[in-house]
Structure formats: C-alpha cells, structure tokens
Chains A and B, each alone.
Chain A
C-alpha cells in the first residue's frame, strides 16, 4: 500500500479496497444469530435471558423491535436527563441501523481525514507531552516550580501569566494593584524572562506561553533569552497562545480592537514561519470558550471558526497556506461528558482537514493536521469535597487521551479554591502517568473508533459545527459576529441553561447538589505572599532606572511608526525587548496608535 499516495488522494488509493472486508465482517456481526444472552457470562445475563424467554423465545430482529419488546419493558429512571451535558439527545442504543459507520469518513490514523488521529502510530510511537501549566508570584518562584516539574518527569513547560501581564499592564501600573503574581507569573521585561528560564536550556525544552493580547512582546522576550543562551531562534520550540479572537468571545483579556489585533497575530505567524519555524505562533483555543459556559458543539464550532479566520487573514496578507498552516495548533477543553468530548476531538480533526484541503487548497498533508493540547475542565472542579476532583480530572484526562491529544494538562484538585500546591500538582501529573503507563489505552490507536455511539456523536457534533459556520458567515464572519455579541450571547444562553438544569437537579454534581457533606476538613492552600507584589514593582522600576533612555525612546518611536504603517511589527518589538523596554510600555505605544477595545456587556 502506497502510504504517501493515500495521504494525498484517498479515492484513488488502495485504501478503499482495504476497507471492504471490514464492512462485510460488520454486516455479518449484525445478523441475529446466537445472541449475547445465551453466553451466560454472568448472573445478570442469565436472569435477563430467562425474562426474555417467557415473553419471546426468539432474539429480536431489529432495533425497533428491540426497543419495543425489550427496552420499553422496563421503566426509565426519572429525574436526571439522558442527553449529553451539552444537550445532545441520546438514544437508548446505537447500532448499525441508526448509526451506520462510514469507514471512508474515518480513514486510518495518520491518513485523511484524520478522524482516528494525526499520526499512524499514535501513542505507540510517542506518548503525549505532559505539560502542566504553572506560574505564580515573580519569575523566581515560577522558575523554582518549573524545575520541580521537570525533575518529576514533566516533558514540556507551560507558563501562566498574571492578569496584569495578560492585559498589557506593567506591575507598577495602578490597574495592577492587588493582581501582581496572583493568577500567574508577573513578567514585565526581558529581565524577568531571563529569571524565569534560568538554568533551563531552551534547546532542551518546549515551552508553551498562555499569552494573547501582548503575545508578540512575550515571544520576543523568549527569543531574546534564547539569543542570550546561544540557542538559535530556529531551534526554539514551543507554543504561544496568541488567539485573540477567543479573548473577545470568552476569556476577555484584550487590549486593542479586533482589527489591529489580527494584524499583530498575522505579523507573528509570518515572522515565525521565517525566523522560528519550530514555534507554534498561535494555539487556537476552545478551552476558554468552554470554561465560559459553552456547549461542546459551540466550543468546537467557535474554535474552528476562529481558526478559519486566522487562515483567511494570513491568505489575505499573501502568505501561502502551506507555509503557515502546519504550525497552527489547537487547544481544547476536556469536560466530563466522556463520549461527547472524545467525539469533539475526532470531529475537530475531520472538519479541519477537510476544510484545509477542500476549501483552502492546502497541498501539504501537514497543513491538514489538527494537532492539539488539552486541559481538563477547570469549571468542572468543585470547592465542595475537593478530593473528588482527582476523579473528575482522571476521567477527563482519559477522554483527552482517547481523543488523541498531543499534549495534556491535568488540573489539580484544589484549583476551585486557589492556585495549586506542589502536592496537588504532583498528583495531577501522576494521573497522566497512570493513564500512560498502567491503563493500556495507549496500546492501539483510536481504541473507540467504530463504536456506533461514538461515531454517531462525532457526526452529530460535526453537523452542529457546520450549522454554526453558516450562521457566523451570515453575520459577516467572526469579527462582525464578535461586535454583535453573537458568541457571547450563545455562550451565556448555554451556561444559563446548564445552571438551571443543575438547580433543578436534572444534572447531578456530586457533593454540590447531591451527596453533600457537612463539616469538611479545610485544605492546605497555596497562599501568594502579598510582599511579592512590592518586590516585583521594585524590580520593574530598577529595570527602568538602569536603561539607556535614549535607546528606549528611539525604539518606542520606531514601534509607533511601524504600527502606523503596515510593516511587520516583530522586528521593532525584538529591538525594543533587547534594550529592556517593558511589555507595558510597548502596549502603551500601540494603544496610542490603535486605541483600546471595550465590550458592550450582555447577560
């Protein structure tokens, strides 16, 4: 079988003939020969066989008959809903009759349309990257946590920045008061980035940075640390989130209006494809969309719509799709509805591959591949009986692995209460290690592929996503839809529906609306020392005091000039970073030129 050929043109490859015997087998299996009831493997089956015989000695012939004679013979439980968490209705049973499986839509792992995974060997070749998101206090504290995680077997770094950094304010800005180092690490200038990666050779790790509005500045700081360590830019590996569209939609950490923000994103993509080819310049994120309360289908649809918007913007710039698409990466949530989540990842791969090949005409098979990071759902963690979160996270992580993720963050059980302690983080990492080494789910690619239910859900989520693409297109695209609050309203609607279902006890959350427990023992929580804020404020002031101020003024003026025109902004940002211009100063320069974004609040 010619592998490369099947990648390019599935119709004319030997692929079709290979799949035929599978289909015949499946039809054979469907015939009602000796039913499973006769196997008598356990007491339950025997008892049920007995029950069935008194009514009808023959095994049922089809699904409709099964439903009528068998299923409806006993009442359903009342109260809780049988639909998925996102509201997709579920039938009591899926078979080839109501959920026929089309092998062509599945393909093989590593083959178009990649429903079954992006790599032929999947986890037999390489396990996913275990990448725990970390960051708090100043660069010093986070550097210590990074080293701790690397010592405990983590294989990639992932940086959480504090709120002022996410919003483009330096630590000594009045808006930063009380927020410095609280929800991530405070990074104001290259000096902080140097401390953050002290003792960590950048050619030996891949680093992910969850930063969006000021992503270009943080990428430049990272590149400068690489330069200082003597690592060529072309050898730096990692991911910068940079997904500003989902900020307007869900995460809400923005600075500039959408249009100049998009220009900055395209500048980064263009620059990285030339200078840092191993860096993923954008991680198109559904995670935050889901955390904001969306359904799985909305997460899928809005994330992919954002992805297409970035592709459109790059193509408009004149870039060749095959020059940048292979470096686009994705980031999804892993929530608790197990099969729905797995279906979501599989549908995402198929939609992306199909759209990139058919619509954008990408010829490089690597452009068709959707590779993604996953994080378990923070929103599913409960403050009540927090140890139970270990179990939730394990199940979510398993869904991500069965969905074929390339990297994974597992939340710590104490995160509904505070940033995690070292103990809690270690357990979260161990959860991934148990899945990888003890459960056996890594031994074959897409082990659930072909499940009637899973394939049905995959098709259903794909259908719902395509419906959303049409609605977004009717609104004029992603940016006009943001300006009209379309996404924000859809998400608020979904999150309110879910909350109402929880409050009506149609959805049970263990420890919250059932199985509550009084007198819970308080957990040991991580406390961020309030003194760190002052320490960081002094640091940034010391950096400013020690600079060549003429050089600073010159590079900032150059940055503004470049922003007024249409040159790529990465070089002026690199130049500013090298002379220790702060992130906040660069953002201020751009605020002067571009203005700021304000959302019309809706609820």
Chain B
C-alpha cells in the first residue's frame, strides 16, 4: 500500500486571507492526506524549503493578493532549481481566467477558483500524485 500523500498548503505573499487555505488543509487531512500548513506571509523561498524538507508530493498555494503572477512563477522556478519539479503544484484564489491559463502553461497542474468544491481538489490531487 502506498504511503499517504504529503501536501504543503502554503500562503505566499502578504495577504492574510486564510479561510480558504485552512478549509482546504482540513479537507485534505480528512481525506487521508498528510498536510503541512505553512502559515501566513511566506516567501517563495520559505515555501520551497518547506516542500523539500517535508518531502512533499504536492504544494497547494492559496493566494488572494493579486501577486500570483509574480510569486507563483518564482515558486515553480525555485522547485526546478532544487530538482523538485516533480512536486505537483496547484493554486487557489482569485485568479482571473487568462492568468490561470498562463500559470498552467508555466507548470501549475491546476487552478481552483472561488467556489471550487473541496472534493474536486481532493480527487485532483489523488489523481495527479498517483500519475
């Protein structure tokens, strides 16, 4: 039997909107995953360091500050630099559709907007990590 999926739920940037991140963290844990929540105001460097230290299968980035086009690409770049490009990166928050498309082209596996059911995110991660 494979081990539990390990997910880092991360809040990059300066916004303090953590309702979504906490709900997702709890839903993933309830779905049987090992969840590490970084807490607020993390730099891309801190997030990637946590992902590597925790040997994460996936990183879930929650961002509502509008800085996603700066911070998410930086996280992807740092993961690559550290040989951790196999980590599945998903993003949640207020991300306009064209930004979501651009992020996916850069390597984000999925973008979940407001109102996305937690079950959908759980299923996606299970599929993406197993693949």
Contacts and interface: CB of A to CB of B under 8 A. Distances in A.
Contacts of A515: none
A352 B4 CA distance: 50
A466 to B, nearest CB: 26
B1 interface: no
Contacts of B118: 499, 503
B77 interface: no
B32 interface: no
A163 B14 contact: yes
Interface residues of A, number: 47
Which among B25, B39, B94, B115 has the highest number of chain A CB atoms within 10 Å?
B115
A416 B71 contact: no
B14 A601 contact: no
Which among B35, B65, B71 has the highest number of chain A CB atoms within 10 Å?
B65
A177 interface: yes
A600 B15 CA distance: 16
A427 interface: no
Contacts of A250: 16
B113 A492 contact: no
A522 interface: yes
Contacts of A164: 14
Contacts of B17: 252, 291-292
Contacts of A383: 94, 113-115
Interface string B57-77: 000000001110111000000
A183 B65 contact: yes
A175 B14 contact: yes
B40 to A, nearest CB: 5
A467 B69 CA distance: 45
B13 A601 contact: no
A601 B37 CA distance: 7
Contact of B26 (A179, A598, A603): A603
Interface in A240-293: 247, 250-253, 291-293
A296 interface: no
Nearest to B67: A178
Contacts of A598: 39
A528 interface: yes
B22 interface: yes
Interface residues of B, number: 36
Interface string B92-122: 0010110000000000000001110111000
A90 to B, nearest CB: 25
Contact of B43 (A175, A382, A417, A492): A175
Interface string B36-52: 01111101000000000
A499 B115 CA distance: 10
A417 B96 CA distance: 6
Contacts of B119: 503
A295 to B, nearest CB: 13
Nearest to B25: A603
B94 A418 contact: yes
Contact of A166 (B14, B21, B66, B115): B14
Nearest to B12: A178
A381 B94 CA distance: 12
Interface in A373-396: 379, 381-384
B23 interface: yes
A183 B13 CA distance: 12
B18 interface: yes
Given A182-B66, A291-B19, A416 B114 contact: yes
A434 B35 CA distance: 48
B49 to A, nearest CB: 16
Given A182-B67, A509-B115, A603-B37, A163 B13 contact: yes
25 contacts: A163-B15, A177-B71, A178-B67, A179-B66, A179-B67, A179-B70, A251-B16, A252-B40, A252-B41, A292-B17, A292-B19, A381-B114, A383-B114, A417-B94, A418-B66, A495-B23, A496-B22, A509-B115, A525-B96, A530-B69, A598-B39, A600-B39, A603-B9, A603-B26, A603-B35
Interface of B: 9, 13-19, 21-23, 25-27, 35, 37-41, 43, 65-67, 69-71, 94, 96-97, 113-115, 117-119
Given A163-B13, A167-B41, A601-B39, 17 more contacts: A163-B65, A175-B14, A177-B71, A179-B65, A179-B66, A183-B15, A183-B66, A250-B16, A291-B17, A382-B115, A383-B114, A418-B94, A499-B27, A513-B117, A522-B97, A602-B22, A603-B22
Q: 5 closest Cβ contacts across the A-B interface?
A: A178-B70, A252-B16, A601-B39, A182-B66, A178-B67
